[in-house]
């Protein structure tokens, strides 16, 4: 059996559930990995729609965000977000929508709004965004979520999205599907057990009478998946290098500016010293005029007296 990580099992099992021609609403992260893995293996005709408005995107590498230029460059069409939601989503043209959440209950309802009381929450989450519409307008909702008691709760702190269209919940331990309106464990992944799944669930988890084991990832699935992830790592490394170079350039510019500022400060200091010296010199020149230094007069009165005596 090939060694694999829990996230790899989640992505691979989700990708297996996408067929050639499936129109899929995708988000960044594991949903994007699963959808692109399907497109590069058994479902090359899977149509990927990202929330940024790219229809039929065919990225050669996993996008770093919904605004990644790779999505727009490879898409069949790029539409506005209102058009994408109104025409494509509300028009019933999307088969599968991937969703995640902070909490899920036994009926597949999701919370991505708050943890705790709404008015005084312990944590205020990013919110629903387009999730409530996706949950009600696509034909099938696929949820990808690590299975813990904090996430799989008996009662949601807040209902962001209804679980009516949830068809499968893929976790790191197994697969849950709705049976008579309640999520039921139908498969456990290799290395996991029913006990593990029950211990990680906040309600009394039902187990299917026909419980199966998820097939292990094939060598091809793991190879393609890891190539996709390696390409992302290379892109991120390029971004980090660019940022580092940008930081080096910024520091160099700051260094030049600091030198220029020091030189200007020295110039101004020298100018002030010259101005002070000139002021002192001007004061010294003006002192005899303003009487600060005594001036002398020759007496004239005795000379007049001598003339009068003659």
**What are the residue numbers of the active site?**
51
Reported for 12-15, long-range contacts at CB under 8 A and 24+ positions apart, including other chains, are 12/37, 12/217, 12/221, 12/222, 12/225, 13/170, 13/175, 13/189, 13/214, 14/98, 14/142, 14/144, 14/170, 15/41, 15/43, 15/221
Distance of alpha carbon 155 from alpha carbon 93, whole angstroms:
32
Q: Contact 121/115 with Cβ under 8 angstroms? A: yes
Q: Contact 178/168 with Cβ under 8 angstroms? A: no
DSSP 3-state assignment of 48?
Answer: strand
* C-alpha to C-alpha distances, 88 to 7, 12, 63, 92, 298, nearest whole angstrom: 30, 26, 21, 6, 113
| Tokens encoding 232 | 């992302």
Measured over the CA atoms of residue 99, residue 215, residue 186 and residue 148, the dihedral's sign is negative
């Amino acid at each position: 059996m090939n060694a694999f990580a829990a996230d790899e099992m989640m992505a691979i099992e989700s990708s297996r559930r996408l067929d050639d021609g499936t129109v899929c609403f995708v988000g960044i992260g594991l949903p994007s990995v699963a959808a692109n893995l399907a497109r590069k293996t058994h479902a090359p005709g899977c149509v990927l729609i990202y929330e940024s408005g790219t229809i039929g995107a065919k990225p050669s590498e996993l996008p770093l965000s919904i605004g990644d230029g790779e999505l727009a460059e490879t898409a069949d069409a790029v539409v506005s977000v209102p058009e994408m939601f109104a025409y494509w989503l509300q028009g019933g043209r999307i088969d599968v929508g991937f969703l995640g959440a902070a909490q899920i209950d036994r009926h597949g309802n999701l919370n991505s709004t708050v943890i705790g009381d709404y008015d005084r929450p312990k944590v205020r989450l990013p919110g629903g965004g387009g999730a409530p519409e996706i949950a009600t307008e696509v034909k099938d909702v696929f949820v990808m979520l690590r299975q813990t008691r904090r996430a799989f709760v008996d009662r949601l702190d807040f209902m962001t999205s209804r679980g009516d269209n949830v068809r499968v919940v893929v976790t790191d331990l197994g697969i849950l599907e709705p049976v008579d309106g309640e999520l039921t464990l139908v498969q456990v992944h290799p290395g996991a057990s029913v006990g593990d799944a029950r211990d990680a669930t906040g309600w009394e988890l039902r187990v299917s009478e026909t419980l199966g084991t998820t097939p292990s990832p094939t060598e091809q699935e793991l190879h393609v998946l890891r190539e996709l992830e390696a390409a992302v790592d290379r892109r991120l490394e390029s971004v980090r290098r660019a940022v580092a170079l940008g930081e080096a350039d910024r520091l160099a510019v700051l260094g030049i500016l600091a030198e220029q500022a020091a030189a200007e400060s020295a110039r101004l200091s020298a100018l002030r010293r010259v101005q002070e010296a000139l002021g002192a010199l001007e004061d010294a020149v003006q002192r005899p005029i303003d009487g600060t230094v005594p001036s002398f007069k020759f007496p004239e009165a005795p000379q007049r007296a001598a003339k009068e005596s003659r």
